[in-house]
Structure 1
Amino acid sequence: MALSTKAARAATRLAKRSLHLTRANGNASARPALASAVSYLQRRRPYTSPATLKTNKLETRNTVVQLLSNIGSKREVEQYLSHFTSVQSQQFAVIKVGGAIISDCLPALASALAFLNHVGLYPVVVHGAGPQLNKMLEAAGVVPEYEGGIRITDAKTLAVARQCFLDENLKLVEALEGLGVRARPINSGVFTADYLDKDKYKFVGQITSVDKRPIEAAIAAGCLPILTSLAETADGQTLNVNADIAAGELARSLQPLKIVFLSENGGLFNGETGEKISSINLDEEYDELTKQWWFRYGLRLKVNEIKDLLEDLPRTSSVAIIAVEDLQRELFTDTGAGTLIRRGNKLTAKTRLSDFKDIDTLNEALQRDPTFAAAESPKAVVDQYLKSLETAPFKAYADEPLNALAIVHPPSQTGQSSAFLSKFVVTKHGWLSNVADNVFSNIKREFPKLIWAVPKSSEYLTWFFDKADGSVMRGQNVIFWYGLDGGLEEAGAWLKSQGLDNAAANVRQATVDHATNPVSNTVTGIREQVRAFSTFSRPRISSHGFNPRRQIRGFASEAASSLPGNTNPNPPLKRDKNAKFEPKKVALVGARGYTGQALISLINKHPYLSLSHVSSRELAGQRLQGYDKDDVFYSNLNVEEVEEMQENGEIDAWIMALPNGVCKPFVDAVIAGGGAGKPGSSIIVDLSADYRFDDNWTYGLPELIKREKIAQSTRISNPGCYATAAQLAISPLADNIDGTPTIFGVSGYSGAGTKPSPKNDVDNLRDNLVAYSLTDHIHEREISRQLGVDVGFMPHVAVWFQGIHHTVNIPLKKEMTSRDIRNLFQDRYAGEKLVKVVGEAPSVKKISGKHGVEIGAFAVHSSGKRVVICATIDNLLKGAATQCLQNMNLALGYNEFEGIPLD
């Protein structure tokens, strides 16, 4: 149902104020989420009768997907659905709000709580009013007294406190209702208390019981419950209670997934380094934490109180101490924001099979490993593996229920200086509770050098990239390592020791310098420093003592299979086995054009690629500008030189940035020289249209083509700029199309290339719009072929330099609303970091110079059977160079977004 005009305006004000606040606070990550709230709030009725309060699960799911597609990943969508939809509303979160938050951050607090409510969530809020009470007491001429840190509350103080709590409670309730959220003030009836010590503290209470009924009634009526930390004795006397204690007792009663303490400081801090403590896993870290000299006074008291609280709650519960502006990030994303504390999981280490309590349970756990699961008789293969462990030295790390199991063979068995991780098997619950990170941290602490292997097809390969210093591709596996002094050479020696010496000539290193390069957080590898959801990795102990650091929060692959037994070796490349590490070498053929220049800029900042050759007939002999890694000069490569370079194994990746119809001789030369063949050989990415209709080539649009297919390809045809944006704007509706979609496209004149023509003549374009190739354009055929739907495409050129705007008209089989269609797009592109779904029609000005695509408008005709969608893309970046780099990263075994700047 639509909002009233007044409520719609209030919703718009909410989003605008939220955006203003997040900008002011520098919290850029929250801006997309708050902006996406506008359209949802404007179509949701804020005041709902009790009879209609049953949540429409599909609506809530679509809304959450919409939220998370802006601030998170597909992994976080699953995280939300598996956690927050599995509990009753009052068990979602208890949020304790300090008085200073209400006085200093009320608009931000109300906006954050309103957003949670509008995605169908009902956090229970309990607040204090300490600073406000001090001011009121001072105004009343009352001097505050304390005993042991507890405020002595005499009758006059209590009267002032009661009025203060009522005032602050009303402020928060009114702020929420001003944003279209129903909120219910609850100032009594929840907490029953006895006197803490009547003679010493007067009217200060110690909570004895919690009555949930007022809270449940508020939620049933569609209201956020807003509680004060006031309690009553059995005979009705009001008592003052510390708000932190009230929140803790409330949590013990409600058993929520999250207990959030909003703090001006935004978390707890390491007293020696001054760094914020991202996470604390109590079962694994608490004992070590208590040994640190700076763990004392208020910090020790706070952590101990939280430890006591969590011991009374399910292991799924966690406590977060965060700033108010980070509330959404903490509840919804892997990144987190403040300090996250939970009990975690106690791990054990075993060196003999007899150390396991139940061999059958161990056998079942190992059968989850993909290598064993694919066997005809998984149990028999596991039995054989276990038998080999009777004589082979190993160390196994696991939690008690075997939600995570790792088996490491020490250097004495591998014959090298490094250990070998032969099995890493984790259940879904193990990933959700992050036992995997804890296990890996224990391994890393004990084994300073490690090699392991993961199937290349693993959906969560990025998790292992984050743990490694380097990687090599080997058949259908990626071999990872950390701590190897010799890097590439030592990894090659290990491969040879395993009887895989032909691979030693085929390794390509992807060294990760964690000191200078942030790690990645998603399946596709967004470069962002993050931690794992709702639990934590064991800290590193250095000469500075306990120093918890930011860790990865999220899911990962089900297992890392062992390398022996692989039957798909790659032929060796013709290169020196003993060569020292060099970044993968790239040859750019056709470097003079705008796209070539954009690629040079991206490769210049890529940590694992280097330009070996740039070919341009017009610029041959000149020094390459805009490239800082080495002195590179343009050359004019001919096909004979290309074939010779390929035969000598000089190039890992060829980029053909040539006009249509020109690159075939160069491609043939690469193939004749032994490249672009089986997986593991050099790759070709062609930016022209020459191979977009060739089934022997992979069409490289990662958002629509399976990434595993691109990762296993050596010949990739880069999609056209117009075609990329058009397909992304049409694809989610492919099953609902009735007729021929028409695409009105307008490009900046950089799309016409550098060769002078009327289409890139600025004088001709000024105050003008130039139409060309209005039927049978090559992009029209490309789009139709890839979508399986005939389209009409009408291209134009305008006076701006770079950027494309599409207006796409799509006839529909059935009546659909704008909301239905937008939800389809939000679902389809949830977690896609280079596709942003917006409400309004996107603009070229905002996309120019950016690396993604924006899709919006979703204007539906009054018949409900025709929709107009707008899309924008930078033709030189996501339309060409950025997409080329995505494809290269996937095919070369890197994170997809390595080297791509992301907003």
Structure 2
Amino acid sequence: MQSLFNNSLKTYSKSLLTNIARTTGSSLVSSQSFSQLKKLSTLNNGKTNNLNLKRDYESKANYGKPDTSEKETIVKLLYNIGSRKEVEQYLRHFSSVESQKFAVIKVGGAVLSDELDTLASALVFLNKVGLYPIVVHGAGPQLNTILKNAGIKAHYEDGLRVTDAQTLEIARKVFQNENLKLVEALERLGTKARPINGGVFTAEYLNKEKYHYVGKVTQVNRELIESSIRAGALPILTSLAETPSGQILNVNADTAAGELARVLEPLKIIYINDKGGLFNDKGKKIDVINLDEEYEDLMKQPWVTKGTKLKIQEIRELLIHLPRSSSVSIISAEHLHKELFTHSGAGTLIRRGNKIFKETDLTKLDVDRLRKLLQSNNQEIADGTNSVAKYLSGLQDKKAVMYGDEAYEVFAVVSNNSEFPVLEELIASESAVLNNVTENIWNIIKKDYPTLIWACYQDDPNKSWYFERCQGSYSLNGRILFWYGIKDVNKVESIINQFKETQKNPAANTTKSSIGFSSGIRKYSTNANGSANKTAPSGARSYSTSSKPKRIGLIGARGYTGRELIKLINGHPNIELAYVSSRELNGKVCEHYNKSELRYVNLAPKELAKKRDVDCWIMALPNNVCKPFVESIMTIPEKERPLILDLSADARFNETWQYGLPELVGRDKIRKTRLISNPGCYATGSQLSIAPLLPYIGGQPSIFGVSGYSGAGTKPSPKNDVNNLNNNLIPYALTDHIHEREISYQLKTPVSFMPHVGQFFQGISLTINIPLNTTMNEKNIHDIYAEKYKNDKLVHVYDAGKIPEVKHISGKHHVDIGAFKVHSSGKRVVIVGCIDNLLKGAATQALQNINLALGLEEYAGIPTSD
């Protein structure tokens, strides 16, 4: 089995090598030896890595589970088709949603016939980095061949195959055979896959008289897909459907993939074909289609003929019903990795996008939305050396043209108060970067301004992006001047001389100079939910950087919550770990953190007052332990004092600390504080499950809670002894539990709480009985909860009657609330809430609070399913 995986790497890396050879001049493509493949993985970092590819595929315990060494190897290979930070950004982006919401991939029959190995290897690569694409395939060419050999003529109406009983019988066998071919190809390469030939699509006859056994999908059963993913297997679907009575119907594979996407709402819908994209009448591939901006003009283009026009119309209709973050890619199997993990892409990317505005009148802008973008992105405003009001006032004094998108995720300013126009500002959110809005605005600016100048600092991580878009540059004293469109040598000399003058006087860098080199052009940046700095490749679709990351000190990193915090910070685009303190782990490498080589230290309380390079200290210590650490930090002058977040119960009843439950206490309070008491896990789930009904409570709510044994901590006890927990449920602290006090104190209503420990590791189930002071029904109550939490990404409200289960919340960052079962009297309701005690019950909520208090985007670094 190991040799099969090695062969998988060799096969799929051929396309990787081809791409690398184009960009690096490498001759490695001439050889497929695996030793050279290993060397390839170190091209970008210049040092040799010990790549351990061994894995026991035959072990049932390991089979199908991600292997960190394989993932590391594959990610290193990806670094060679795009920058390291590009790849990591997309990995974080794709991993930020539930597994079934990553991608729906439609595979044409010709690809299965001609490129099966390449397709299988591509899917293996995705799975080895922890992703679960859902594949829907067709089998048109294979079916045509078999029908022809059987003397049956294929018949089409309006582009759809007319499927009579004989054709359907053959089609069913062909689909099953092609499905198994792909599943077996994946299994041979060490990736689990599950053949799903039915049960997903329910359909009715499209037009029985005209098309015979051709279906129109009416319902999608996602449980089969989710079950496959939970089992660690890629779901491989045919496009066959059934009527409610069990009659099999043929459904167009594109249509089936579209209906599946409408239900799952994935980030990516991918159509794999042998062409690898859409091409215009001159044979040039169309890189990007931004539908909201381009659709009407696009439909008038001569190359948009009947088939292409129908395809674009169908994609537009699909995307209108999906979140704006969703997009469609048309790509070949060989270049799937480049399409997914680089800004430049490889196929045709189709998305809705946002309409672009161009404005000279500041009063016509949505200033409130622009203010938020500037506060998160403009360096001077973020560090307090400038204010939004002063910045906007400055725009009015300039002959400036402002560009942006209707969502205010990108903003650019070009001034015209000198001989040549000057790019003063260019900022963008991560969403704009990932969805190409930034590049669209850049192209519009280039169209409007045949000449342009701008400047950045020498250490700006985006300078290579600027170099790729300029025709000339000049460096002096830590700054770089860029220009394009200026052909007159004397004019170039003139702007360089003026640039030199600004560099003689440092103060000139913070005020408008004779050629408009204002401080605005320091960075092309994204806001707090953007990714880490990166350099975009030539022809990039989009590009971004973030400001200097916030530094975090973690005291008490040994426990489960500390580990989860380290993992979250490792994936956060705008914060980094400065110190991780643990007495037991002192001197060891922090294994869950790879932004830098960080070792555990054992910090004494008095040392914290001396560490002035920390923006936030997290106290991940047991109750009644962190007081000396906090006292040490409080000796720092108030203006320099970092944020303190306490995960223990020490400050939850202390009014000088802000209780950190954003959905209930309000975000503004958390943004203004420097002392945060993080709520308890049981308390978070219980309060969120009860709070919407506070005006209707007619008696004392009672809470029956069951937690996984991770809630008992790492110190050995009967409550985390797996042998003691086997086939067991342990009640404990049945009265006066600290969380009972906490819930009652925060909700300002008494509750009774009965905690238990179960034999599962993580997660909490809460069954809550609430007496009502008025008669209500399930819909009344559900609507109250849905309205209360409609804007909260980390609270998911189930439909009335649907009951959350703890197995579905483990490893997730939100809270599930459901059931809403009302007693026949209408005066009592039972609510069920589920929360992961280590995540939203602790680490995720801590990060949510830190984001707010440090001025970052609330959900930055937190995987959500929205």
Which TM-score applies when normalising by structure 1? Answer: 0.52
2:44 maps to 1:44? no
The question of whether the paired residues in 1 share the 8 Å contact of 2:12 and 2:334 is answered with no
Cα distance in structure 2, aligned partners of 1:40 and 1:375: 42
Task: Please state how far the C-alpha of 1:430 moved relative to its aligned partner.
Answer: 3.2
Cα distance in structure 1, aligned partners of 2:494 and 2:534: 27
Task: Please state how far the C-alpha of 1:16 moved relative to its aligned partner.
Answer: 3.7
Instruction: Name the CA shift for 1:107/1:494 in 2 (closer, same or farther; >3 Å).
Output: closer
Q: How does 1:2-17 map to 2 (within 5 A)?
A: 7-17=1-11
The question of whether the paired residues in 1 share the 8 Å contact of 2:401 and 2:414 is answered with yes
Cα distance in structure 2, aligned partners of 1:41 and 1:241: 45
Give deviations 1:804-858, integer Å, cap 9, x for gaps: xxxxxxxxxxxxxxxxxxxxxxxxxxxxxxxxxxxxxxxxxxxxxxxxxxxxxxx
The question of whether the paired residues in 1 share the 8 Å contact of 2:409 and 2:432 is answered with yes
Task: Please state how far the C-alpha of 1:78 moved relative to its aligned partner.
Answer: 3.0
1:778 match? none
Give deviations 1:330-382, integer Å, cap 9, x for gaps: 22223321111111222112211211123x44344334565523765532xx4
Structure 1 residue aligned with 2:298, among 277, 285, 289? 289
Task: Please state how far the C-alpha of 1:530 moved relative to its aligned partner.
Answer: 3.5
Q: Give the count of matched residue pairs.
A: 511
1:452 match? 454
Cα distance in structure 1, aligned partners of 2:208 and 2:21: 46
1:311 match? 320
Q: How does 1:339-738 map to 2 (within 5 A)?
A: 339-358=348-367, 360-368=368-376, 370=378, 372-373=380-381, 376-379=384-387, 382-410=388-416, 413-414=417-418, 416=419, 418-487=420-489, 489-490=491-492, 492-493=494-495, 496=498, 500=502, 529-532=538-541, 553-556=542-545
Task: Please state how far the C-alpha of 1:220 moved relative to its aligned partner.
Answer: 1.3
AA matched with 1:372: E
Instruction: Name the CA shift for 1:208/1:275 in 2 (closer, same or farther; >3 Å).
Output: same
- Give SS of 1:71's match: coil
Task: Please state how far the C-alpha of 1:141 moved relative to its aligned partner.
Answer: 1.8
- Give SS of 1:378's match: coil
The question of whether the paired residues in 1 share the 8 Å contact of 2:64 and 2:192 is answered with no
Task: Please state how far the C-alpha of 1:177 moved relative to its aligned partner.
Answer: 1.6
Cα distance in structure 1, aligned partners of 2:428 and 2:33: 32
Instruction: Name the CA shift for 1:346/1:64 in 2 (closer, same or farther; >3 Å).
Output: farther
The question of whether the paired residues in 1 share the 8 Å contact of 2:74 and 2:125 is answered with no
Cα distance in structure 1, aligned partners of 2:147 and 2:78: 45
Give deviations 1:736-768, integer Å, cap 9, x for gaps: 9xxxxxxxxxxxxxxxxxxxxxxxxxxxxxxxx
Task: Please state how far the C-alpha of 1:233 moved relative to its aligned partner.
Answer: 0.7
Task: Please state how far the C-alpha of 1:22 moved relative to its aligned partner.
Answer: 7.2
1:650 match? none
Cα distance in structure 2, aligned partners of 1:48 and 1:294: 54
AA matched with 1:341: I
Instruction: Name the CA shift for 1:371/1:179 in 2 (closer, same or farther; >3 Å).
Output: closer
Task: Please state how far the C-alpha of 1:554 moved relative to its aligned partner.
Answer: 3.3
2:186 maps to 1:176? yes
1:73 match? 83
1:167 match? 177
AA matched with 1:283: D
Give deviations 1:778-827, integer Å, cap 9, x for gaps: xxxxxxxxxxxxxxxxxxxxxxxxxxxxxxxxxxxxxxxxxxxxxxxxxx
Q: How does 1:237-316 map to 2 (within 5 A)?
A: 237-271=247-281, 273-316=282-325
Cα distance in structure 2, aligned partners of 1:60 and 1:732: 20
- Give SS of 2:95's match: coil
Cα distance in structure 2, aligned partners of 1:20 and 1:366: 44
1:587 match? none
2:95 maps to 1:105? no
The question of whether the paired residues in 2 share the 8 Å contact of 1:266 and 1:323 is answered with yes
AA matched with 1:457: D
Structure 2 residue aligned with 1:133, among 143, 153, 169? 143
Task: Please state how far the C-alpha of 1:95 moved relative to its aligned partner.
Answer: 1.1
Task: Please state how far the C-alpha of 1:149 moved relative to its aligned partner.
Answer: 1.6
AA matched with 1:154: D
Instruction: Name the CA shift for 1:260/1:27 in 2 (closer, same or farther; >3 Å).
Output: farther
AA matched with 1:13: N
2:210 maps to 1:200? yes
Cα distance in structure 1, aligned partners of 2:534 and 2:224: 45
Cα distance in structure 1, aligned partners of 2:276 and 2:470: 31
The question of whether the paired residues in 2 share the 8 Å contact of 1:279 and 1:339 is answered with yes
Instruction: Name the CA shift for 1:27/1:180 in 2 (closer, same or farther; >3 Å).
Output: farther
Instruction: Name the CA shift for 1:498/1:401 in 2 (closer, same or farther; >3 Å).
Output: farther
Which TM-score applies when normalising by structure 2? Answer: 0.54
- Give SS of 1:44's match: coil
Cα distance in structure 1, aligned partners of 2:379 and 2:128: 45
Instruction: Name the CA shift for 1:487/1:94 in 2 (closer, same or farther; >3 Å).
Output: farther
Cα distance in structure 1, aligned partners of 2:235 and 2:469: 43
The question of whether the paired residues in 1 share the 8 Å contact of 2:85 and 2:534 is answered with no
Q: How does 1:867-878 map to 2 (within 5 A)?
A: none
The question of whether the paired residues in 2 share the 8 Å contact of 1:33 and 1:68 is answered with no
Task: Please state how far the C-alpha of 1:77 moved relative to its aligned partner.
Answer: 3.2
Structure 1 residue aligned with 2:228, among 218, 237, 241? 218
Instruction: Name the CA shift for 1:491/1:500 in 2 (closer, same or farther; >3 Å).
Output: farther
Cα distance in structure 2, aligned partners of 1:284 and 1:234: 41
Cα distance in structure 1, aligned partners of 2:76 and 2:496: 47
AA matched with 1:392: K
Q: RMSD over aligned Cα, in angstroms?
A: 3.5
AA matched with 2:304: F
Instruction: Name the CA shift for 1:343/1:529 in 2 (closer, same or farther; >3 Å).
Output: same
Unaligned runs of 5+ in 1: 1-6, 504-521, 533-552, 560-730, 737-903
- Give SS of 2:279's match: coil
Cα distance in structure 1, aligned partners of 2:361 and 2:33: 50
2:243 maps to 1:233? yes
Give deviations 1:558-588, integer Å, cap 9, x for gaps: 69xxxxxxxxxxxxxxxxxxxxxxxxxxxxx
Cα distance in structure 1, aligned partners of 2:14 and 2:259: 36
The question of whether the paired residues in 2 share the 8 Å contact of 1:323 and 1:338 is answered with yes
Higher relative contact order (CA 8 A, sep 6+): 1
Instruction: Name the CA shift for 1:403/1:487 in 2 (closer, same or farther; >3 Å).
Output: farther
Task: Please state how far the C-alpha of 1:268 moved relative to its aligned partner.
Answer: 0.6
Cα distance in structure 1, aligned partners of 2:458 and 2:15: 43
Instruction: Name the CA shift for 1:141/1:24 in 2 (closer, same or farther; >3 Å).
Output: farther
Give deviations 1:86-128, integer Å, cap 9, x for gaps: 0122211111111111111111112222222222222111111
Instruction: Name the CA shift for 1:216/1:287 in 2 (closer, same or farther; >3 Å).
Output: same
Give deviations 1:879-898, integer Å, cap 9, x for gaps: xxxxxxxxxxxxxxxxxxxx
Cα distance in structure 2, aligned partners of 1:111 and 1:103: 15
Give deviations 1:62-84, integer Å, cap 9, x for gaps: 45643433433122233223311
Cα distance in structure 1, aligned partners of 2:426 and 2:18: 44
Cα distance in structure 2, aligned partners of 1:396 and 1:21: 42
AA matched with 2:380: F
The question of whether the paired residues in 1 share the 8 Å contact of 2:20 and 2:80 is answered with no
Give deviations 1:143-165, integer Å, cap 9, x for gaps: 11111221111111111111111
